[in-house]
Structure formats: structure tokens, C-alpha cells
A and B are shown apart, each in its own frame.
Chain A
Amino acid sequence: MKRGWVTVLPGLWIGLVVLVSLAAPVLVHVSPLQPVADPLSPPSVSAPLGTDSLGRDLWARLLYGGRVSLGVSFLAVSLTILLGGAAGMVAAMAGGWPDRVILWLANSALAIPGLLLAMLLVAAVGPGVPAVVMAVGLGGAPGFARLARSVFLQVKQDGYIAAAAALGADLAWISARHVLPNARPKLVSLTATHYAWALMGTVTLTFLGLGGDPAIPEWGAMLNAGRADLIGAPWAALWPALAISLTVLSVHAIADRVGR
């Protein structure tokens, strides 16, 4: 197995981003919400990444924004996994009509393109951060349920499952003690891929302005705000664009790695 920089760099980047976002209050001493210098100042000693159109420090906003973007997508993917995983588990283990109903529901939801489904859910609740968490989380659930179901079905074929059933173990016991642990490697890879999608969905919705208050530092919203002054002050859009790209690419690279 090749273990070059292709494997190490994504992991390092994710570690760095998570660490720096968590340590934001220690690393920056200015508020991400208050102006600190002239609007659209280029990078300097006092504001290492420059300032945005309201004169707010972009370094501070990028770090605090990481907390929001990563946190929102983490909550969203947790919702996806809990809901989709449970539905997939029930479908795979129970079979029969619960399987058919769950599959039919998932397929119907998948007949609406993912981003539109998420936007529909935002429309139902009203724009804002909680709406984004719910929309991205619920929006990912049908797809995850279908994939998890096929993973569980595959594990269910193994001989030890039949052995456990022959020994008199009930369905819940088999699901929790035999199927779930053995499906874990594949589920981890699925989760990583879905996390990348959740992050992409989060920044897309906030980029579209559906994340509510634009003062909240968040990568997608920052990218959208930076769009207005792209020619005169490219840094305002460049930093969030780089942060989003590198993080999404790294998560995909890790998911690929784990999946193999």
C-alpha cells in the first residue's frame, strides 16, 4: 500500500483546520464582528489576511467561520447518519413491507435533486443556521439510508449471522452485536463521503444567503460577501474559497483512503 504525501497531507490539513477553529479565541484577539481597520485593507501586519467590506478582520472571521461551517456540517452529518442509518438498518434487517416502504420513501425523496430538497426544507423552516443544519442533515438521509441498507444487507449474508439466528438470538441483538460492528469499516467511509457532501451543502446554502444573519462569520457567507469586490479586493473571497476547497478535497481524499 502506497503511503505518500497524498495520504498524509489531507489528514494534516483537517487536523490543522479543526485545531485552529477550536483555538480561535486563543489565536485571535480581535472580534470577528467588529471593524478593526479600513474596509477592504490588503493583508498587513495588523490584519494578516486583510479586511472585508465592513473593515472586519478576515483572519478572525476565517477562524471563527471554520467553527460555524465545520460545526454545522458536523451536526448535519450526524443527523444524516442517525436517521439514514436507522432507516437503512430497519429496512435491511426487517425486510418485507418495512423495507419496501422505506425504500420507496427514500427513492421519492431522491427524485428531488439534493440541493433543491435542502432548499425546500430551508423554505419550510425559514432561513437561518438551524434550518441549514436540518436541511443538509435531512437532505442527506435518503441517500445514506439506501447505501447503508445495501451495506447491512451484504453483512447479513455472512455465515455467522445465520449461526447467531440458529442459536436463538433475536433480530435486535443480531443487528446491534453482529451486523453493526461488521458493517463499520464501510460505514466509516460512507460517513466521510457524506461529511464532505454536508460541508459542500452547508457552504452552498449559506453562499446563497439562506444561513440567516450575514454578520455570522461562515465560509460560504464570506465567499458570497467577497464576491462584490472581487477585482479590487480579491482576498475577501480568496481565503474562504481556499479554505472550503482544501477542506472538501481533504475529506474526500480521506474517504477514498478509508474506503479501500
Chain B
Amino acid sequence: MVPAPDRFAPGPLAAVFRRILQGLLTAWAAVSLTFLALRLAGGDPIANLLAQGLASPTQASNLRRALGLDQPIWTQYLHYLGGLVRGDLGVSLYTSRDVSTVIGERIPPTAALASAGLIVALLIGLILGVTAAWSSRRPIGIVAGLLSSLALTLPVAVTGVLSILGLSLAFRAIPGADFLANLQSLVLPAFVLGFASSGGIARLVQTGLTESLNKPYILAAKARGLPVGARLLWHALRPALPPVISLTALEASFLFSGTVVTETVFSRPGLGRLLVTSILRGDFPVAQGIVVMAALVYTGGHILADLLALAIDPRLRRLI
């Protein structure tokens, strides 16, 4: 049956608008969940300070009043939401500085690590995926498949520590620890982080490529005498890319949780380290601010992924 040409299909703008609205709703829910989880399960954060002997009872009650903790939870919640809209995330319990300033200072090193990691993830993912699909019966293809399984399953903590160990053993003979220190500052962390995210990309490339390699147009290209490289990269890989592009947008926002571990392994300063230390110190406004920010970035990444998919494949517009 030929679809009626005048059938109503929402325009691209309507789809984009609806998707953004959905994203905002999810972001609000995630923010509320973060707030409620910390307040309802966590009880009184100031009690921690009292227990550690970091504040006298008078100081504690003053602090409670200053932070608005003496008010009912719904007032605090509305207050927090109102502050969030204005970019105000409260103040740190330990340094009394603005949480948004504290977080802002730590964004550059984490953003550098995450973007380097993303580039590595794409490179490794494409190489492993193409190799696994193209030489699926040969040892090299099997090794590529195994590597992507390892990337998917091994915790970043393990791959990180093992990579430092491997590298230090390999370069033990070479004098000049500077070289090693340089490698450890960005290249190695980016590799460890990127490797962890490359597994999903590799799997997606592999399945997409395997599917399109069996299509008649590949046989036709072969019959026309096109070289292997052109067949593989131009004819077969292209139709496999749209899902990879959306996954990459998701991975980009997901990389943040990978940076938490990577920063610990390589003792790099950044948002991830800040989150761990603020949890250990009971500095809940900072921890809350980082998680809220990550949830917002993550939701944004989801929206971006869906919009990219929409841009690539117009058929999806009806589904949203």
C-alpha cells in the first residue's frame, strides 16, 4: 500500500520541541531524586560535622539556620530548585565557597580528559569494529572481538592500574621519568577512559558492518571492480554509522562517570576527585551539585543523540 502523501506528519520542529520538553521533565525528575535521596536517607548533614568535632553546638545551629536546614523539606526543595535555575547551587560546608565556583574550577581538567577519551574511544571502537567485521574468520578479527569484549567488561580501575604497571615495566630501562610522567598526565588516562567506552562503539560498528557487507550492493560494487578499501569504507561502513553517531553522543555524556575512576587511578585533579572527596568529607552541597550537573549533562546528551538520529533518519520523526 502506498502511503497517502497528504498524511499528517509532524514537522521537524515539533519533534525537536517535544523531545526537548521530555528531556526537561526527565532532568527535573533526576534533580528531585538527587535532592530527596540525600535529604531523606541522609538525615542531618550537620550532625556529621558535630560528630567529627568540627563544629560546636552553637556553630551547628547557626550553620543550620544559614543553610536553611531548619525549614521544612518542601521549602528547602523549592529554594534549591529556584537557586538551580539561577545557577546557584549553595555553598560548600567545608570551604564556605560557592558550589558553582568550586565546580567551575574543576571543569577544565575533566573536560580535557573526557574529550581526549572520546576521541580515543571513537578511534579504537572504529578500528576494533571494522577489523572484527571484515576479518571475522581470521585470528586478527577474533582478537579484535575479544578486545571489545574486554573493553565492555573490565572495570576502569583494573585497566587503569594494569596500564600503569605495564607501561612502567616497559619503560623501566629507559632513563627519564619525565617521559613517563607526561604519558601519565593525559595520554594514558585518555587511553584507559577511551578503551572503556570503545567496547560499545566497536560492537555497534561490527554488527552494522557485518549486516551491510552481506547486502547485494556490496557484491555489485565488487563486480564493478571497486577496490576493497572503497567497498569497505564507502559502501559498507556508511549505512552502519547513524546508530554509532547517536551512541557516541550518549558515551560523551557517560564518560563523566568514567572520569571519576580515571582521575583517582592517575591522581588527576578534576570533578571526579572532587566528588569522591566531598562524599568522604560529608560535604553534601558539593556532591549534590556535581551529581545534578552530571544528570543535566547526561540528559542533554540524550536529547542531542535523539536529535542527531532525527537529522540523519527522517523516518524517526513520526515516532517521537
Contacts and interface: CB of A to CB of B under 8 A. Distances in A.
Nearest to A115: B257
Interface in A65-123: 104-105, 107-109, 111-117, 119-123
B42 interface: yes
Contacts of A231: 168, 172
Contact of A230 (B153, B161, B256): B161
B279 A127 contact: yes
Contacts of A209: 276, 280
A237 interface: yes
15 contacts: A111-B26, A112-B291, A113-B256, A113-B294, A115-B261, A119-B275, A119-B276, A124-B41, A127-B279, A208-B264, A223-B158, A227-B265, A231-B168, A238-B165, A252-B153
Interface string B278-320: 1110101001101100110011001000000000000000000
Interface of A: 104-105, 107-109, 111-117, 119-127, 196, 200, 203-204, 207-210, 220, 223-224, 226-227, 230-231, 234, 237-238, 241, 244-245, 248-249, 252
B151 to A, nearest CB: 12
Given A115-B257, A230-B165, A210 B291 contact: no
B155 A237 contact: no
Given A111-B295, A115-B260, A241-B161, A122 B153 contact: no
**Size category, B interface:** 35 or more
Contacts of A120: 34, 37-38, 287-288, 291
B69 interface: no
A124 to B, nearest CB: 4
A116 B291 contact: yes
Contact of A248 (B155, B275, B294): B155
Nearest to B155: A200
B283 to A, nearest CB: 9
Nearest to A241: B158
Contact of B276 (A108, A203, A208, A230): A208
B187 interface: no
Contacts of B37: 120-121, 124
Contact of A124 (B38, B165, B290): B38
Interface of B: 26-27, 29-30, 32-34, 37-38, 41-42, 48, 149-150, 153-158, 161-162, 164-165, 168-169, 172, 253-254, 256-257, 260-261, 264-265, 275-276, 278-280, 282, 284, 287-288, 290-291, 294-295, 298-299, 302
Contacts of B33: 108-109, 112
Closest 9 CB pairs of A and B: A108-B29, A124-B41, A115-B257, A124-B42, A111-B30, A113-B257, A207-B157, A123-B279, A123-B287
Contacts of A196: 153
A104 B27 CA distance: 12
Contact of A112 (B153, B278, B298): B298
Contacts of B38: 120, 123-124
A197 to B, nearest CB: 10
Contacts of B161: 223, 226-227, 230, 237, 241
A139 to B, nearest CB: 11
